[in-house]
């Protein structure tokens, strides 16, 4: 059973500098049902943007590659996130718009979904 959803930031939550309304609505309607985390290959702090968009409080974890000195191609990046939220890989869904990152997570047993504009409706 899925207990947490890991989201990519650029290309999923933030599309061309704007909040993805579909994801925002999903977060709001599923608060308490799932733990949410952001796993991003960013070199900037995403928290101010998330706060400005009024969605920062939905996330149990914001893990940024530049803050943990790991890349999204390193399995340890996902292991660290799982440990931080205290869940097993098979209890977690990772949504990203880049297949190679999903492949790394999937090898650990994390369920994955390639994000497209049409994919969110069929996730859970």
Evaluated on CA atoms 69, 37, 119, 106, the torsion sign reads positive
The per-residue pLDDT for range 15-55, each reduced to its tens digit, is: 999 999 999 999 999 999 999 999 999 999 999 999 999 99
Map out the domains of the chain with their CATH numbers: 4-93+104-122 (3.40.50.1000)
Does pTM top 0.85 for this prediction?
yes
Distance (Å, whole) CA 57 – CA 72: 23
């Amino acid at each position: 059973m899925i207990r947490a959803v890991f989201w990519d930031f650029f290309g999923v939550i933030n599309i061309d500098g704007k909040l993805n309304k579909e994801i925002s609505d999903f977060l709001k309607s599923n608060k308490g049902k799932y733990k949410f985390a952001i796993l991003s290959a960013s070199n900037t702090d995403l928290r101010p943007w998330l706060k400005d968009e009024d969605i920062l409080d939905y996330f149990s974890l914001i893990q940024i590659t530049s803050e943990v000195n790991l890349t999204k191609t390193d399995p340890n990046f996902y292991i660290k996130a799982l440990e931080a939220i205290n869940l097993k890989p098979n209890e977690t869904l990772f949504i990203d718009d880049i297949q190679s990152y999903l492949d790394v997570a999937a090898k650990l047993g994390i369920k994955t979904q390639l994000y497209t504009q049409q994919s969110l409706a069929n996730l859970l």
